Amino acid sequence: GYTFKGWDPEVPSTMPAENLTLVAQWEAIEYTITYHLDGGTNDGANPANYTIESATIILNAATKTGYTFDGWYDAETGGTKVESIPQGTTGDKALYARWIANQYTVTFDAQGGTVNPETKQVTYDSPYGELPVPEREGYTFDGWYTAEVGGSKITAEDKVSTADSHTLYAHWTVNQYTISFDSAGGTEVAAITLDYGEAVTPPANPTKTGYTFKGWDPEVPSTMPAEDLTLVAQWEAIEYSITY
C-alpha cells in the first residue's frame, strides 16, 4: 500500500563520527476506482481514487432514469455485492452497477368511449404489450396517444420511455353513414351521407301520381345515427269523386 520514497536523513556516502538513525519515508499508493454504470450516472457521489490510509468509503447509490439501483458488484455478472471499501484496502477496483427496471401504471383515457381494463402495469424500457381496444358509438378507434390532441402514437411493440405513471389517450375518427330513400314508386330522392351526429336536413317530399305523400318509415332522424338507414315512402291513394 506504500511506495518507498527514501531515508531521512539520506544515507551518508561515508561513515560519520556519530551514530545515526535513519527513518524510512513512505508515500501511500493511490488506487483507482472504476465505475461501470450501465447507462446510469454516478453524479460524483463516489470517489475515483483512494489509498490504504483513506477512511472507509461507504458507497453511495448511482441513478438511472426508470430504474432502481440494486447495488455495486465486483463483476459484471454474478460476483459479490460491494457496499464499502474498508480502510486498509489496497488495489484498483472495478465496480458494476446493477439495476431493476421500475414498474408504472398506465391509465387509459377513452375520451368519450369505454375501455376495459382502464389501467395496466408496465415496465420501463420494455414493450407496452397488449393494449385494450376501446369502443365508441359512431367512431373508429385510431390508436392510443401520449396527448389528448396530437402526441405520439403508442403501440404494443413500443418500449415504455416515460419514467412515471402516465395516461394514454384514445384518438378517434368519426364515421360516416348514409340515409337512403326508397320512394316506393314516387320520384327519386337523393341519399344523404354525413358524419355521425351531424344534423340531418330532411329532403323535399317525393311525388307520386294518384297518391299523397304521408311521410317516411322510419322518420327522418334529426341527427345522423351510427348506422346506414333506408327510409321507405308511405303513400295514401287520393280518393277522387265521381259526379253524375
DSSP secondary structure of 5-41:
EEEESPPPSS--SS----EEEEEEPPEEEEEE-TT-B
Average pLDDT rounded to a whole number, residues 19-35:
96
C-alpha cell at 233: 315512402
Average pLDDT rounded to a whole number, residues 222-244:
97
User: 226 pLDDT band (50/70/90 cuts)?
Assistant: very high
Asked if residue 145 lies in contact with residue 154, where contact means CB atoms within 8 angstroms, the answer is yes
CA angle 175, 177, 181 (to 5 degrees): 175
Mean pLDDT, the chain, whole residue set? 97
Asked if residue 79 lies in contact with residue 94, where contact means CB atoms within 8 angstroms, the answer is no
What's the pLDDT at 2? 94
Residue with the bigger pLDDT between 45 and 31: it is 31
What's the pLDDT at 44? 75
